[in-house]
């Protein structure tokens, strides 16, 4: 995926209250913890009870090309479900680019990790040599193990890749394979990717710069949130039986 000039140092505002800062790992990744909820400020006791959800992903998770940070799918979901969100993202990142942040992922001890990775493994960005599918699956497992090291009860929700058919097929299959081994549901965003109304037009001014007509627009982010929110809500409310 294209990396905007504002790049990795973009600060995100999720919801209404920013509760922590940015942790850069190898110049690539940022970890940001935030609280959402309440009109002005969430009471500390309420915040302490809010489930911690770590959003782990590439440029879609970072928010390209929602008009504002609050329009991104993760911000919409975090606000709707009143969770404590943590962001680990890298625009253009492949799964291997996240491996150096394993300790940061472990340290967060999240209750749930939403994994949106594979789009750049599928395309091979930026060399455009697709990542070996076995390596891709192994990297997903390593990241899941890092999350479980911090919280053995951590659960997962996976999202399919933002690529066209037929290229996405084998990578989506690996995502489902790994997700199944952890008892995790998979949110399929293929229909959103295939709808031009969810990514076009190009040239719209956003907090990440000018949109490219390929990443999801506000409608695309809202559509992803509409699919993800009920799945994540079900995971949060289900009896904890991690595999």
pLDDT tens readout for residues 133-158: 999 999 999 999 999 999 999 999 99
What's the pLDDT tens digit per position in 77-109? 999 999 999 999 999 999 999 999 999 999 999
Q: How far is CA 191 from CA 48, 117, 157, 196, 237, in A?
A: 37, 17, 18, 10, 27
Pairing status of strand 205-206 against strand 209-210: antiparallel
What's the pLDDT tens digit per position in 24-68? 333 344 544 443 333 333 445 444 579 999 999 999 999 999 999
- For range 153-167, the mean pLDDT: 97
The residues that bridge with 155 in the sheet, in sequence order, are 112
Reduced to 3 states, what is the DSSP secondary structure of residue 124? coil
Rounded CA separation 54/145 (Å):
14
5: its two tokens: 């000039």
pLDDT number for residue 10: 33
For tokens 């999240």, the residue is 110
165: its two tokens: 């058919």
For tokens 């959800």, the residue is 53
Q: Could you give the percent of the chain with pLDDT greater than 90? A: 76
Sequence-ordered list of residues with C-beta below 8 angstroms from that of 207, at least 6 positions apart, any chain: 10, 63, 66, 67, 68, 69
Reduced to 3 states, what is the DSSP secondary structure of residue 30? strand
* Residue (of 12, 69, 5) closest to 210 by Cα position: 5
What's the pLDDT tens digit per position in 177-210? 999 999 999 999 999 999 999 999 999 999 999 9
Rounded CA separation 236/98 (Å):
25
Residue pair 192/223 in contact by the 8 Å Cβ criterion: yes
Structure-model confidence comparison of residues 180 and 15, the more confident one: 180
Would the pLDDT of 16 be above 90?
A: no
Q: Which domains does the chain have, with CATH numbers?
A: 7-237 (3.40.50.1110)
Rounded CA separation 86/75 (Å):
10
* Residue (of 86, 24, 34) closest to 55 by Cα position: 86
pLDDT number for residue 66: 98
């Amino acid at each position: 995926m294209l990396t905007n000039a504002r790049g990795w140092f973009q600060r995100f505002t999720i919801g209404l209250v920013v509760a922590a800062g940015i942790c850069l790992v190898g110049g690539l990744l940022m970890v940001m913890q935030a609280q959402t909820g309440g009109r002005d400020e969430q009471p500390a006791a309420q915040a302490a009870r809010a489930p911690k959800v770590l959003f782990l992903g590439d440029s879609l998770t970072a928010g390209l090309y929602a008009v504002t940070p609050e329009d991104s799918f993760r911000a919409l979901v975090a606000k709707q479900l009143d969770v404590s969100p943590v962001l680990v993202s890298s625009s253009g990142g492949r799964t291997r680019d996240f491996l150096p942040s394993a300790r940061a992922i472990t340290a967060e001890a999240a209750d749930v990790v939403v994994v949106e990775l594979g789009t750049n493994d599928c395309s091979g960005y930026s060399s455009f040599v697709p990542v070996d599918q076995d390596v891709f699956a192994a990297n997903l497992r390593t990241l899941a193990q890092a999350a479980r090291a911090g919280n053995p009860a951590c659960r997962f929700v996976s999202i399919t890749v933002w690529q066209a058919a037929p290229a996405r097929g084998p990578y989506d299959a690996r995502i489902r394979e790994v997700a199944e081994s952890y008892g995790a549901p998979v949110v399929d965003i293929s229909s959103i990717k295939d709808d031009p109304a969810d990514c076009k037009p190009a040239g719209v001014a956003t907090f990440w710069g000018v949109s490219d007509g390929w990443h999801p627009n506000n409608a695309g982010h809202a559509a992803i949130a509409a699919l993800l929110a009920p799945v994540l809500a079900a995971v949060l409310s289900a009896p904890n039986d991690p595999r």
